Chain A
Amino acid sequence: MEQTIVQNTAKQTDNNAVSKKEKKIPVGCRQKNKFIPCFMAGTVLLTVISLMYLEIDWIKLASRVPEIGKVFAELAHFDFSNMDLIFSSMLETISIAVLSLLYSLILGVVFGMIAARNILRIKWLSVLTQSLFTFLRAVPTPVWVLLMLVCLGMGPEAGVAGLCVHTTAFFTKTFAQSFESIPDETLEALEATGTSRISIFVNAVLPAAFSQIAAWTGMRLETNFSECAVLGMVGAGGVGFVISRNLQSYEYGTAGLAIVLVFAVAYCIERLFVAIKKKIAQ
């Protein structure tokens, strides 16, 4: 690959400077994936079709673009009078995110054990759990939260339970994958000593998958926080509710402050996990 590129540029400079050599050296990779150009063409085509289908009124939209600038200017005039409300709702959001993460971590390990094909070895059970959780995962979180709100009423319970549905489904899939990636030899060796399945899982599989579990948990915390910040907008509490209510009642100062706070927390979580990842990789 590199060679061809070096040749290619060498050739180009040759051509420019001398242009005596008539014959061109064939450059370019021979094993080109013919699928990629087809894929790109298909993408462009589909995009054009979907844009036509959407019938967006671009001119009207463009004429309102200056409004965005105005809104941002107003958002930047922070209003510190509701600081305590913003902070307490922010803490609530973080708590809900962490709490749902912890509950789903436990549930995810249990269901992941059931769903992984190499641990309990009950085939119909693992297929059943996997397909159930595929369904749960496919439906976006706010839908679950909305339904939980109907069942449980307002409050942190609905948020935690709704977030747990999606997070557990996500963990079940990823943990089952990590469990399945453990070599069969380990399991067989332990089985030969007469260890029970549960203790094989606790003593061999779980420690081996630990670092992956930790990595997925970290990644999920980011997602859960942003999901949780969003949930308030569909009716659950937390900082999302503060943002949406203040935006709708044109109190941009408070909303702007809350948005900046959301950004700051999300950024801190991201940085934290980048740092941890680097440390683990060392």
Chain B
Amino acid sequence: MNKRIPVGVSGQKKMYTAFIIVAVILFVLTTLYTNFNPMTLIENGDAFVSFITEDFLPPALPKSSRIPGVLSSVLVTLALAFSSTTFAAIFAFFTSLFGSEKVSPFPKLAKIVRGFATFLRNIPALVWAFILFSSLGIGTGVGFAALFITSYAFMVRAFVETIEDVSQDCVESLEAVGASFPQRVIQAILPSCLNGFLSWFLYCIEVNIRASTIVGMVGGGGVGLTLFTYIKGFQYDVALSIILLIAAMVIIVDRITGRLRKEIAK
């Protein structure tokens, strides 16, 4: 009974080996390049523990005079994320109509529109923030613009994909009877794609809540800036309570968007 019966799909096994080989090669190369040694993490374990137990725990509240400021900075972050996403969604909707070859009245421009969106999207929000800071100065308005650009570009891509997935036949049949472009949009694309659009919009809000915290850190205002100030001021216990606040904010927003998504999909 030495011979084994081969089980499993042979193609899958090949994919496994390829995957693992690529992973190992990448691992070796990157480790050599960065000189990253996981042992240093373990060696620094004491520093970790002492940092966490001494500096970090227990979470301390900021001075009572500062508490309203902290809370209002949370509101700024939320407002920033929400308003920029809504504006981006409105603009992205109109752009995405021109980004899909099958719907757009100018099919030749579709590629250019999509390329433009790809360019905007592949540059991270924080880089946009820095470019805009150097031209517009620091402030919430600039944070708004940076978030707007990235979520706009992301939603253009998502909306174009939604349009192409859903409404081919409707649009074609409407075109056949001679409906104009606005008619096609209102009668075919909107009804069939609205759910998809809205769920992408909710996803974008989730992403932007995190992003607006980060953009805030480099000068966009909001709770990110508050956290950054406390970390730079070595007040780690206060920073921890703000981190907890941020986590609570993100989790609550995620919960709400999850509920809304279920309601919309009904």
How many Å from the CB of A244 to the closest CB on chain B? 6
Tally B residues with Cβ within 8 Å of A. 90
Residue of A nearest to B31 (CB): A99
Give chain B residues whose Cβ lies under 8 Å from the Cβ of A161.
41
Give chain B residues whose Cβ lies under 8 Å from the Cβ of A6.
173-174, 177
Closest 5 CB pairs of A and B: A50-B79, A95-B30, A138-B250, A266-B122, A138-B247
- Contact indicator A1/B191 (Cβ below 8 Å): yes
- Contact indicator B177/A230 (Cβ below 8 Å): no
Q: Is the interface of A mostly helix, strand, loop or mixed?
A: helix
Give chain A residues whose Cβ lies under 8 Å from the Cβ of B76.
53-54
Tally A residues with Cβ within 8 Å of B. 84
Is B38's beta carbon under 8 Å from chain A?
yes
Give chain B residues whose Cβ lies under 8 Å from the Cβ of A10.
177
Stretch of A38-46, A77-85, A122-130, A175-183 on the interface side: A38-46
Mark B residues whose CB is within 8 Å of A.
8, 12, 15-16, 19, 23, 26-27, 29-31, 33-38, 40-41, 44, 47-48, 51, 75-76, 78-80, 82-83, 86-87, 118-119, 122-127, 130-137, 139-142, 144-145, 169-170, 173-174, 177-179, 183, 187-188, 191-192, 194-195, 198, 210-211, 213-214, 217-218, 227-228, 231, 236, 243, 246-248, 250-251, 254, 260, 263-264, 266
- Contact indicator B137/A259 (Cβ below 8 Å): no
A-B contact pairs, 24 of them (CB 8 A): A2-B173, A6-B177, A8-B187, A35-B264, A39-B264, A47-B83, A50-B80, A64-B137, A68-B136, A94-B30, A103-B38, A139-B243, A140-B246, A142-B217, A147-B236, A152-B40, A156-B34, A157-B37, A160-B36, A207-B12, A233-B126, A259-B123, A262-B124, A262-B127
CA distance A264 to B48 in the complex (A): 37
Determine which residue in A10, A91, A98 has the highest number of CB atoms from chain B within 10 A of its CB, and name it.
Answer: A98
